[in-house]
């Protein structure tokens, strides 16, 4: 499939709002990514911003939800479609109920609780609070990715560290929140009226039509 060329953060937002879902990286569906539709000169250049720099402002904007939602890789989901995706991925469980039923590890709960209680928190502070250090507590990326894939956590911003002179440096540290904190407690629960499998089929039918493909297996790899 072909999108119009992506040349700005606003292009990403508009495409995501139009189609509901937009992976950041190339995936099982050819052409269905920011990576494949944004000119090379906008990637990692010192004199102009590109997708890597835009993702923080887009996440803050609130019209799209950003996180690792596509086969453990990052991308955007529109505010309209995210509750439907969450209803499918959560399979009828809010986080506490999932934990009470023994479907969540203690490590996942520890990370989720810190994010939920703080409203938003950067990854460095989560790691510090839970002693995620080499040779001690390990597996943070696995936990935070799983929580995003389950839609309990999303990325709200990227925070740049500053040197002693106040100058920003580095790639930007992910700041995490929950969809409920970002958009309100009823944002996801309003979609709970629908059976999770029905939500899944709605997503599949929508994307099969948009992407003009009949191969549901490619979607399953990306959306499951």
Going by pLDDT thresholds of 50, 70 and 90, the confidence category of residue 129 is very high
Q: CA 24, CA 158: separation in Å to the nearest integer?
A: 15
Task: Dump pLDDT digits (tens) for 50-68.
Answer: 999 999 999 999 999 999 9
Going by pLDDT thresholds of 50, 70 and 90, the confidence category of residue 214 is low
pLDDT at 117: 96
Task: Dump pLDDT digits (tens) for 133-160.
Answer: 877 788 999 999 999 999 999 999 998 8
Length of the chain: 224
Going by pLDDT thresholds of 50, 70 and 90, the confidence category of residue 84 is very high
- Tell me the mean pLDDT in the region 116-127: 95
pLDDT at 3: 72
For residue 2, is pLDDT > 70? Answer: no
What's phi and psi for 210, nearest 5 deg?
Answer: -65, -45
- Tell me the mean pLDDT in the region 38-57: 88
pLDDT at 169: 66
Mean pLDDT of the chain: 91
Q: CA 139, CA 111: separation in Å to the nearest integer?
A: 11
Cα 194–Cα 198–Cα 203 angle in degrees, nearest 5: 110
Q: CA 117, CA 113: separation in Å to the nearest integer?
A: 6
Residue 77 · residue 154 · CB < 8 Å: no
Task: Dump pLDDT digits (tens) for 20-39.
Answer: 999 999 998 989 999 999 98
DSSP letters, 74-89, are EEEEETTTHHHHHHHH
For residue 4, is pLDDT > 70? Answer: yes
Task: Dump pLDDT digits (tens) for 165-191.
Answer: 767 666 789 999 999 999 999 999 999
pLDDT at 160: 80
Q: CA 197, CA 204: separation in Å to the nearest integer?
A: 11
């Amino acid at each position: 499939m072909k999108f119009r060329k992506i040349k700005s953060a606003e292009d990403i937002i508009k495409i995501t709002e139009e189609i509901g879902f937009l992976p950041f990286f190339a995936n099982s569906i050819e052409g269905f990514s920011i990576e494949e539709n944004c000119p090379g000169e906008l990637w990692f250049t010192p004199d102009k911003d590109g997708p890597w720099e835009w993702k923080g402002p887009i996440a803050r904007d609130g019209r799209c939800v950003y996180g690792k939602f596509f086969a453990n890789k990052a991308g955007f989901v529109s505010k309209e479609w995210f509750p439907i995706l969450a209803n499918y991925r959560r399979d009828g469980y809010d986080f506490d109920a999932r934990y009470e039923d023994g479907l969540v590890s203690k490590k996942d709960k520890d990370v989720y609780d810190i994010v939920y209680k703080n409203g938003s928190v950067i990854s460095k502070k989560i790691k510090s609070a839970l002693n995620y250090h080499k040779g001690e507590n390990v597996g943070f990326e696995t936990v935070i990715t799983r929580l995003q894939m389950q839609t309990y956590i999303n990325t709200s911003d990227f925070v740049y560290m500053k040197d002693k002179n106040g100058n920003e440096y580095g790639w930007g540290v992910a700041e995490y929140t929950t969809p409920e904190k970002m958009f309100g407690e009823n944002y996801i629960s309003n979609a709970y009226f629908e059976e999770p499998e029905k939500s899944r089929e709605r997503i599949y039918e929508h994307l099969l039509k948009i992407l003009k493909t009949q191969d549901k297996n490619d979607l399953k790899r990306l959306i499951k």
